[in-house]
Structure 1
Amino acid sequence: MPPHPTWTATLGSVVAATTLGIAALAAPAGAAATPAVAETSPAAAQPGDVERLGLEATAGFDGRFIAGTWVPVTVSLAPERLVAGVLDVDVRLENGGRLTETRPFEVAGGSRKRFRVVVPPVADLTVTVRPDGEEPVQVRPGTQQRVAGGAFLVGVLGAVPADPPAVESVATRRRAVYVSVDPEWLALSAHALDSVGTLVAHAQDLQRLPDPARRTLAAAVAGGVDLTVVADRPGPVDLGVTSPATARGEDGTLTAEPGAWVLTEADLSGPPTHRTDPAAGVGRVIAAAAPLGRGRVAVVAVPLGAPGLGRDAALWSHLLQPAADRDGATQPTTTTQMLNTSQAVLSGSDLALPTLPWLTAFLVLYVAAVGPGNALVLSRLGRRELAWVTVPAVTVAFAVGAFAASAVASPPTGVAASALTWVDGHGSELALAAVRAPRPGHHTLTLPGQGWDVVAGALREPAVLTRGGDVEVGFELEALEAGTVLAWRTGTGDPPLQVTASAGAGGVRATVRNVSDRPVDDIRLLSAGEERRIGGLEPGQQRDVEVHSRTELRPSDPWDGEHQFLGDRGPRGGPELPMSLATVLQWEILDRSPGLVWAVGSLPGQTGSPVRADGRPAGDEGSLVAVGVRPTLAGDRFLSPYTVSRAVVATAGMGGERGGPSPNALVDVESVVLRYRLPVAGDLQALVATLDEGWREPGPHGPPVAVPEVVCDDRGVCSDVELPRPVPAGPAGPGETELEVWDVRAGAWAPLADVFADGEADPARTVSPLGEVHVRAVPQDVFEFAGRGVGARLGGQR
């Protein structure tokens, strides 16, 4: 991982560090990859201590989680007598750092108390119970046991049915593993569902959820989790979120919303109908689905595991789908990518590089005092032999003065910025904060309120997280070392920007309006790989913008523009907060995938949650705001590839780097499966695609730009040369890439050239009943998929 940012220091702190020889420590090396799906193994501790405390610790749901995701950890205590003390959940992160969440506890004898914690992607996990006046008891929930077959998790809100169907996902053939999800997790954190591909819940159970749990669930779906709701009772369907069905009839038929994808009994035995009104004469509608943000909401009329359709593998294979791939072969994880990028982002803050003028002034004064000044005084006194006393004395005086100045003039300082995002109206907040001090010691960052999911930068000592009225993260720092925190939580109020967009054969157009009472600066519109800057908007102002006029997605050089927002250099030479937070979010929600149109801007001053560094307000760098909406059809009956969401849902082969060299590229994988979801149902006439549009031309930062190398011959003579990187061979990027499309009628992969023989494909052959298209690639070297898109012609019009 990259080194910690060096922060701006005042005269006193620079002098102290220079004179006393204090330097920041390097971060530990990263950890090894974890397997794709892990199961916890039995805790390892002294049996007598564990039984006396009634201690149980489980990582994941029913002991299972997906490697590379946030992990729910449950710790329960059922002691024989009253026990009080401290509970520590210690996580060794994949970036080499450690984070310990500590909680006080008191449990009466004969009772049971559960503690729930959501931790970042783990390399190792330890739970320690420290009873007052007793020796600590430690257990280690296992995190390294692989579940064979590339399984994915299906969460069931409440209990898993006794006889659920054995399901393999469409096209990817990944086996579904059912786990129970306690409703309390929904109120705790949206990251709690990070391991779950699809969550299955009954409509009445959703109605009983408290409002915080509903908001968290909606945020999780908007972020990429699929929600499948069982509506097995006649009457209106009320989900608390956008629903693709309005009601269920007495005969079990669903009434779908206009534009929702529907699945009928006829679709289970034959090719999909893809009718504009599927309920008319094509059989009973038993499922309906519609997108919500980057996820999907589906309603099904039969309970999971019930006799008949409840155990029909064909039905549930369409409804139970894996989330975007987090396989352990694709390292580092999204969370680590974001944390690493945040270190670079902080280099542009007010606490950036040491102020060289102050350091120069100090050195000049010191040299002048210890040299000419000292010599002049001693020569006038006629006592030059005292130089052996005065030179050390001057040095000590400067050192003591510098240390005193740093103590008085350089208290610990902090910086903070936030990113507020809304996806289809559902908001979340990302806070970036850091603290540094001129002297070694204990320092803290305090995030206001509760509900934060926290990850900390790697240091030699673990960061310690405590939850009370606020969330506090403590660090043991060396001089000038930075303690860094990334924290997420759901719920951010109303967005300051209102965005409407439409897409069709003429491109993407949008209207952005400032609906807040504050100006929004530096607004940009993003649609997949396209960007349009429109400047600032005062309250009440709006702007109509043509984002672009393209009908196909734009390919991109994987090495070019990896950190596009880092190219915006401020007066200090570094990337400027808060807009540079878009670089952090590019590894998550702002990865420039198609499906959503984004308006991104900045709000100066305090907008997000105020952060404190060692009890003092941290310097606020403002907030980035990002509002994402799904564009509507432009009216020309063309379903633009810019409206069709895309996700990597399966990878095979070790050595891959998801997100490296860019969020829309993979390196050294044997095969990749891309899943496309058409946003609205209709009378599909033909599928159109630019699936073979990979990266063609080298950019300024990638092949075949010359790369400096040092070459040595057999005689040991070395010289600097420039070795060009290989030129891409063909439209698929570096090397040749084989592309296949899932044939829904044959249930097998078919070559792209056969499916799109005349440039268009038959929807009955390529589109599943719920609007999904799967594409498999067998790449060589780098597989860049930014330009690979899918669209459709509707209603017979071109």
Structure 2
Amino acid sequence: MPRRIPSRVARAAIGVLAAAFVLLGALPVPVAAADAGLTIEAHALLQGHVRSGSWFAVAVDLSNSGPTVTGELRIAGGIDSRTRFGTPVELATGSRKQYLLYALPPTFGGNMTVELVSGDRQVAKATVAIALHDQTQLVVGVMAENPGRIVGELDLLPSQNGAQPTIVPLTPADLPERLQAWSALDRIVWQDEDASALTPGQLDALRGWIAGGGRLVIVGGTSGADALNAFPDELLPFRPTAVLDIDPSAVRPVLGGLPEGAAALTALSGELSRGRELASSGDRVIAADMAFGAGSVTILGFDPTTSWIAEGETWDAPLWRRMLPTRSGGTVSLTDDSTIVGAVSNLPSLALPPIGGLIVLLIGYIILIGPVNYLVLRWLDRREWAWITVPALIVVFAVGAFGFGALLRGSDVIVHEVAIVRGAPGTDQAVAQSYLGVFSPSRATFQVRVPGNALLAAPMNGDIFGSGAASSLDVLQGDPSRIRDLSVGYGSLRTVRAEAQTTGPNVEADLRLENNRIVGTVTNRSDRTLVSPALVFGASSTNLKDIGPGATAEVSLTLTNNPLNQASLSDRVVGQISWDFNGAISSEAEQRKLVRRSILDQLTYDPMTGFQSSFASDSPVLLAWGDDPVVPMEIEGVRVRRVANILYQVPVALTVGGEVTFRTDLLRSSVVEVNANFFSKDPWTISFGTGNVRLAFRPLPFDGAFTPKQVVVAMTFGGDISIPSGNPKALAEEARCDPADEGCVTPQDGLPDIEVLDVRTGEWVQFAHMQQGAAYELADAGRWVDPASGEVQVRFVNERQEGIGFQFPISISGVIR
């Protein structure tokens, strides 16, 4: 049965009630169980919404009218709540202070407890309510003076596993100042809030959140252009400078059509400075979007809650589903780290001993304890001494084996750092997500210091060598951050996860798209050499030579037409590993390659398909390697040897203009509507049951206006998702017959029928049934392609009783001016 869409009033009521429950659940909880004169209140920022495996911030308000209190605030979280996060506290008599704690949620969510401890005594405690979201659930924050108007409009699609999106009303005070604590948010809708209410730290975090993949949608309202003055120019496709009265036809390119009774409205306007125009009035831009790093910023100068727009379900304007697509990846940090944790353990000191050495030791032991021992004792005529010499030789060889193992492992304490440093174009400011493996040749307990105010925790998926009580961490946050009593077993390694601000390579790029190739230059403006760099875009990549400080590299990257036929990205960027005849790594260089492959395999792994061939980003990404540590780690009283494998990841801008064909990696698809009894979609294959599914195919962001020339589509099975070769046939417009009518035959070839949205009229046009493996052209491309965004919307219709699965290659050609 098709899914029934609730009425606008019902959705608004549900949204307001949901918002109320969220707000009630996230209110600070005062606790009476405290020393006389001391009160404590605690709440999680972002209204208590947290993401599994990601950081969140807890604000703790303390008031003390009694004697001075010195101690720590503590909260337990992370895997099995084995990590204790703390921060020092000093409260003088009569003081009121707010402290921020950063923590990881427990595996299964639930309320958490903040304790104020002085010495070994609990002075006070408070309960913190959190709402835990998995890695697929979309979370949208609404920053608005009247959030209920927008919350009620956001009828968004569920995730692939059926999790409904969560809409969270927020205020500026709910936003953390540390980027790492923004992980729960995927999208932000901003209306009428004054951006000057944001602190410099919050603005920096917002900038990093967008660069990491977040989407900011700014919409018009009642407050005017001045409310956006505090946003930096780099985050706005245009700077709103005036409010215009506009004709409703001006917003047709954004809405997809106009209903009867559409009235004039007001809109913020300005001059386009970057990105692409979505709508204009005269010579003024009223809607535009732009890419920023791996994320985007969109400004809709008009108010989408205007009554005739808000009632758009009666005419065909899935505005919010296009502006706020389902979640496809993280915005701040990794969602899984098991492969990287395994890479941390790839140290020569932890490798198995060489099989040749073991064989020599074993043969020597057999010869010495057998024939040599016998011959010597016979020569001395003291065979009865065998009761003494055999145990003695066993002890000697046991000590020798132990010494052999100790020699292989060495005597140094080693810190092996495996890190991903995410930068942004034109700056050396970056965020490091680092995994620090502490190796000890003997059993020891260390006091660890990490300067730079880093956030420290155990890995998301646990520690390979840590188990039981010994694997817990006692973290004291601050600068430096500390880990107290880090236990490391004999010849073992403990892994610590660290996230901190750092510096990365300052990269400038001048790249453009020409004839299905990315060409141009990449310049290294930093003082470090970019080792083994590669430019990656989707499933396409090209390796470059090392780029020294101030040097420029020429780029020529041919885009693949079929990502499914690509080897893994680690194979193409790093290469295969050479093993010796014993099945061990043959050299230190090969050991480093193995670690680098693990990092890329972690970043590119798609849990839905199992493929590791694509890099998720709306812009090209420069990857480069380094071997200098980025997160300092000190162990008190111990001399440490550092080993590092660092991946630098910098998104770079791409200019798209002139004649262009958008396909495969240059197109992004989003689900707009589902009216089928089941539905699933991976990056290439669409599967659904009886009913219909609506998808939007949109090119990557470009500057200028798009004049479409040709739209070619096809349907295929199996692993080929490229447009079939040969000249495409014309696809005729043809109405389908009603399956209930006598003589109506529904094709049983496992393919759906298609309808395409006519952007000129807002009507859906039915086409003749397509054949598998044939390319078809849609005549008069301008009817189907939005000139502002290049988007084409397609509805797939399945009138059979059984489910279907297929690929839908599409290419959109034209000219950008």
Which TM-score applies when normalising by structure 1? Answer: 0.69
Aligned-pair distance for 1:275?
11
Task: Render the CA deviation track for 1:368-396: whole Å, top value 9, x for unaligned.
Answer: 66555655665566554444444445545
Indicate conservation of the 8 Å contact 2:438/2:494, yes or no. Answer: yes
Letter in 2 for 1:325: R
Report SS of the residue matched to 1:468. coil
List gaps (5 residues or longer) in structure 2: 1-17, 263-274, 579-585, 607-611, 722-748
Aligned-pair distance for 1:748?
10
Residue 89 of structure 1: aligned partner: 75
Residue 221 of structure 1: aligned partner: 210
Aligned-pair distance for 1:639?
4.9
Instruction: Give the direction of change, closer, same or farther, for the CA distance of 1:145–1:634 in structure 2 (3 Å limit).
Output: closer
Indicate conservation of the 8 Å contact 2:64/2:91, yes or no. Answer: yes
1:102 equivalenced with 2:86 (yes/no): yes
Letter in 2 for 1:626: Q
Aligned-pair distance for 1:406?
4.1
Indicate conservation of the 8 Å contact 1:91/1:123, yes or no. Answer: no
Residue 414 of structure 1: aligned partner: 415
Report SS of the residue matched to 2:334. helix
Indicate conservation of the 8 Å contact 2:31/2:39, yes or no. Answer: no
1:758 equivalenced with 2:781 (yes/no): no
Report SS of the residue matched to 1:592. coil
Say which of 24, 49, 53 aligns to 2:33. Answer: 49
Report SS of the residue matched to 2:280. coil
Instruction: Give the direction of change, closer, same or farther, for the CA distance of 1:528–1:264 in structure 2 (3 Å limit).
Output: closer
Deviates more, 1:586-595 or 1:623-632: 586-595
Indicate conservation of the 8 Å contact 2:519/2:557, yes or no. Answer: yes
Aligned-pair distance for 1:412?
2.8
Say which of 132, 135, 156 aligns to 2:143. Answer: 156
Residue 295 of structure 1: aligned partner: 295
Residue 498 of structure 2: aligned partner: 487
Task: Render the CA deviation track for 1:108-158: whole Å, top value 9, x for unaligned.
Answer: 5773534231526843464352522435877775667899x977322428x
Say which of 543, 548, 553 aligns to 1:533. Answer: 543
**1:366-405 paired onto structure 2 within 5 Å:** 367=366, 370-371=369-370, 375=374, 379=378, 382-396=381-395, 399=398
Aligned-pair distance for 1:178?
2.9
List gaps (5 residues or longer) in structure 1: 1-35, 255-259, 699-734
Task: Render the CA deviation track for 1:584-627: whole Å, top value 9, x for unaligned.
Answer: 33259994246322332333x42634444675444333533333
Indicate conservation of the 8 Å contact 1:215/1:490, yes or no. Answer: no
Say which of 687, 697, 701 aligns to 1:679. Answer: 701
Aligned-pair distance for 1:556?
0.7
Say which of 309, 322, 327 aligns to 1:325. Answer: 327
Residue 343 of structure 2: aligned partner: 345
In 2, the alpha carbon distance for the partners of 1:563 and 1:164 equals 46
Letter in 1 for 2:101: R
In 2, the alpha carbon distance for the partners of 1:774 and 1:342 equals 39
In 1, the alpha carbon distance for the partners of 2:180 and 2:417 equals 23
In 2, the alpha carbon distance for the partners of 1:69 and 1:364 equals 52
Aligned-pair distance for 1:478?
3.3
1:554 equivalenced with 2:565 (yes/no): no
Indicate conservation of the 8 Å contact 2:45/2:175, yes or no. Answer: no
Say which of 49, 60, 63 aligns to 2:48. Answer: 63
**1:490-505 paired onto structure 2 within 5 Å:** 490=501, 492-495=503-506, 497-505=507-515
1:624 equivalenced with 2:647 (yes/no): yes
In 2, the alpha carbon distance for the partners of 1:438 and 1:651 equals 58
Aligned-pair distance for 1:751?
8.3
Instruction: Give the direction of change, closer, same or farther, for the CA distance of 1:127–1:109 in structure 2 (3 Å limit).
Output: farther
Residue 188 of structure 1: aligned partner: 178
Say which of 428, 433, 444 aligns to 1:430. Answer: 433
Deviates more, 1:560-569 or 1:412-421: 560-569
Aligned-pair distance for 1:752?
9.1
Instruction: Give the direction of change, closer, same or farther, for the CA distance of 1:364–1:179 in structure 2 (3 Å limit).
Output: farther
Higher gyration radius (CA): 2
**1:294-313 paired onto structure 2 within 5 Å:** 294-301=294-301
Residue 606 of structure 1: aligned partner: 628
Indicate conservation of the 8 Å contact 2:78/2:104, yes or no. Answer: no
Instruction: Give the direction of change, closer, same or farther, for the CA distance of 1:616–1:759 in structure 2 (3 Å limit).
Output: farther
Say which of 492, 510, 521 aligns to 2:531. Answer: 521
Residue 732 of structure 1: aligned partner: none
Deviates more, 1:120-129 or 1:41-50: 41-50
Aligned-pair distance for 1:484?
2.3
Residue 462 of structure 1: aligned partner: 472
Instruction: Give the direction of change, closer, same or farther, for the CA distance of 1:524–1:559 in structure 2 (3 Å limit).
Output: closer
Instruction: Give the direction of change, closer, same or farther, for the CA distance of 1:238–1:494 in structure 2 (3 Å limit).
Output: farther
Indicate conservation of the 8 Å contact 1:522/1:602, yes or no. Answer: yes
Report SS of the residue matched to 1:758. strand
Task: Render the CA deviation track for 1:627-674: whole Å, top value 9, x for unaligned.
Answer: 322321242254565444567899999999999xxxx57999989977
Aligned-pair distance for 1:537?
3.5
In 2, the alpha carbon distance for the partners of 1:50 and 1:303 equals 49
Residue 569 of structure 1: aligned partner: 577
What percent of counterpart residues are identical? 17
Instruction: Give the direction of change, closer, same or farther, for the CA distance of 1:691–1:181 in structure 2 (3 Å limit).
Output: farther
Letter in 1 for 2:241: R
In 1, the alpha carbon distance for the partners of 2:83 and 2:677 equals 28
Indicate conservation of the 8 Å contact 1:70/1:121, yes or no. Answer: no
In 2, the alpha carbon distance for the partners of 1:601 and 1:592 equals 14
Aligned-pair distance for 1:477?
3.5
Report SS of the residue matched to 1:62. helix
Aligned-pair distance for 1:220?
0.8
Aligned-pair distance for 1:679?
1.0
Indicate conservation of the 8 Å contact 1:507/1:549, yes or no. Answer: yes
In 2, the alpha carbon distance for the partners of 1:554 and 1:790 equals 13
Say which of 148, 161, 167 aligns to 2:153. Answer: 167
Report SS of the residue matched to 2:503. coil
Report SS of the residue matched to 2:33. helix
Aligned-pair distance for 1:689?
6.1
In 2, the alpha carbon distance for the partners of 1:178 and 1:543 equals 45
Aligned-pair distance for 1:316?
11
Residue 586 of structure 1: aligned partner: 604
In 1, the alpha carbon distance for the partners of 2:567 and 2:214 equals 29
Indicate conservation of the 8 Å contact 2:339/2:602, yes or no. Answer: yes
Aligned-pair distance for 1:788?
5.6
Instruction: Give the direction of change, closer, same or farther, for the CA distance of 1:791–1:99 in structure 2 (3 Å limit).
Output: farther
In 1, the alpha carbon distance for the partners of 2:675 and 2:282 equals 42
Report SS of the residue matched to 2:498. strand
Deviates more, 1:458-467 or 1:406-415: 406-415
Report SS of the residue matched to 1:556. helix
Letter in 2 for 1:134: R
In 2, the alpha carbon distance for the partners of 1:654 and 1:451 equals 47
Task: Render the CA deviation track for 1:421-460: whole Å, top value 9, x for unaligned.
Answer: 3344464333232122233443576544125475523332
Aligned-pair distance for 1:196?
3.7
In 2, the alpha carbon distance for the partners of 1:227 and 1:115 equals 25
Letter in 2 for 1:598: V
Report SS of the residue matched to 1:245. coil
Deviates more, 1:757-766 or 1:340-349: 757-766
